[in-house]
Amino acid sequence: KQEVTQIPAALSVPEGENLVLNCSFTDSAIYNLQWFRQDPGKGLTSLLLIQSSQREQTSGRLNASLDKSSGRSTLYIAASQPGDSATYLCAVKDSNYQLIWGAGTKLIIKP
């Protein structure tokens, strides 16, 4: 059964730093992987979607990579800002076409 893990559960960095969030999954048979952002008390917003045939996707200061063979994805945030503070979740669409979610990484950017 597919399992998705995000480590660390929480991360605090000073403003301006580049940072990497990690997501790992146990079964490489996936259709795609998505990164979402969740602000406190709010729903989720999709950030990036990487198809299984792709290696990375970029949107502004965000870059997501996918290595299916090793079961890993990273979300790179460049020049972090206080407004980037949120919980970041990754989810994989598995062979049954279901989304399997990680528990998220809570990111705090200190001004």
Using CB under 8 A as the criterion, which residues of the chain lie in contact with another protein when the complex forms? Answer: 4, 9, 32, 34, 41-46, 49, 89, 91, 98-104
Min dist. Cβ of residue 15 to another protein (A): 27
Structure tokens that stand for 86 in this block? 């949120």
Q: Give the nearer residue to another protein in terms of CB position, either 11 or 49.
A: 49
Q: Give the nearer residue to another protein in terms of CB position, either 18 or 46.
A: 46
d(CA 69, CA 84): 30
Amino acid at 6: Q
For 60: left if phi > 0, alpha if psi spans -120 to 50, otherwise beta; the answer is left
Min dist. Cβ of residue 111 to another protein (A): 26
Q: Give the nearer residue to another protein in terms of CB position, either 71 or 104.
A: 104
Min dist. Cβ of residue 82 to another protein (A): 22
Q: Give the nearer residue to another protein in terms of CB position, either 65 or 87.
A: 87
Question: Measured between alpha carbons, how far is residue 64 from residues 2, 15, 59, 76, 100 in Å?
Answer: 20, 20, 9, 6, 18
